[in-house]
Amino acid sequence: MDAATAATAESTETPPVFAMRGVTKVYAMGEVEVHALRGVDLDLHDGEFAVLLGPSGSGKSTLLNILGGLDGPTDGLVTYRGRELSLGGDRALTRYRRRHVGFVFQFYNLIPSLTARENVALVTEIAGDPIAPEDALALVGLKYRLDHFPSQMSGGEQQRVAIARAIAKRPDVLLCDEPTGALDISTGIAVLGALEKVNSELGTTTAVITHNAAISAMADRVISLADGLITSDVRNSTKQPAATIEW
């Protein structure tokens, strides 16, 4: 029994949050067709902290975008809690992102004209049962930076604001695309610490994509991708605390 079937077998106990079956994604880049995903099967479960590892071009960002409802598969099935994501079009996807998904990006994507608190409030104002912006920021250790604008904060602080913004709506899933990619090691570890805390305290299903293998040490599960296919899917027997990670 290889790693992938082991993970699938385990999932029969509780239904997965996400289920992908035979997902392919083909981009037309001018006259060339790029096969970003070549038939991926994957389940993600409640409360899981998964790291998707792979070199650039492996298809991990495409996978994350499809999970997050930013993009649809060319072929195959993606379900979120049993409902098919590709149905319903843009309006349904927007509603899905709005209610269920928190995003964290490599370049933070904060709104420069809003303070930390206001960036978080941006989400809490449109969410059903949000965490107060101040509490969300306290969770990521930014209690004292509430009224700072992005230009007044370091990259790590900005990324933690982004995490606070992502989790403030109590999303069912937190999707992070290279959250430490633009950061040095010490600020990067502070950001990972924030993700860890959110996952353990709120129980938010978290998927982090990265090409930094060191980060996989803190995950429940490490999924490796290469050339549009899952090459391994391993469950960590012991999770290492974020603070002890080094690269």
Binding other proteins by CB under 8 A: which of 68, 188, 193, 228?
68
Q: Which is nearer to other proteins, 10 or 125 (CB)?
A: 125
| Residue placing its CB nearer to other proteins in the complex, 71 or 134 | 71
List CB contacts of 118: < 8 A, sequence separation 6 or more: 111, 133
Under the binding rule (CB under 8 A), the answer on residue 6 touching other proteins is no
What are the beta bridge partners of residue 83? 80
Answer yes or no whether residue 48 interacts with other proteins by CB under 8 A.
no
Q: Is 208 in the site for other proteins (CB under 8 A)?
A: no
For other proteins, the closer CB: 3 or 34:
34
Q: Give the type of residue at 112.
A: P
CB under 8 Å to 91, separation ≥6 — which residues? none
Distance CA 194, CA 49 (A): 13
Least gap, CB of 28 to other proteins (angstroms): 14
Q: Footprint of other proteins on residues 90-149 (CB under 8 A)?
A: 90-91, 94-95, 97-99, 101-103, 105-107, 109-115, 118-119, 121-123, 125-126, 149
Does 34 help bind other proteins (rule: CB under 8 A)?
Answer: no
- Give the side-chain half-sphere CA count within 13 A for 8: 12
| Backbone φ and ψ of 98, nearest 5° | -65, -35
Residues 219-238 that bind other proteins (CB under 8 A): none
Specify the amino acid at residue 116.
A
CA atoms within 13 A on the CB side of 152: 11
Q: How far is the CB of 127 from other proteins (least distance, A)?
A: 8
Shortest distance (Å) from residue 68 CB to other proteins: 7
For residue 176, the minimal CB distance to other proteins (Å) is 12
Report the b/e string of 143-174 with b at 16+ CB within 10 A: eebbebbbeebebbbbbbbbbbbbbbbbbbbb
Measured CA to CA in angstroms, residue 240 lies from 44, 98, 201, 224, 237 at distances of 20, 32, 16, 18, 10
CB of 8 to other proteins, least distance (A): 28
- Total residues contacting other proteins by CB under 8 A comes to 40
Q: Whose Cβ is closer to other proteins: residue 98's or residue 239's?
A: 98
Q: Residues in the site for other proteins, rule: CB under 8 A?
A: 61, 65, 68, 70-71, 90-91, 94-95, 97-99, 101-103, 105-107, 109-115, 118-119, 121-123, 125-126, 149-151, 165-166, 169, 177, 182
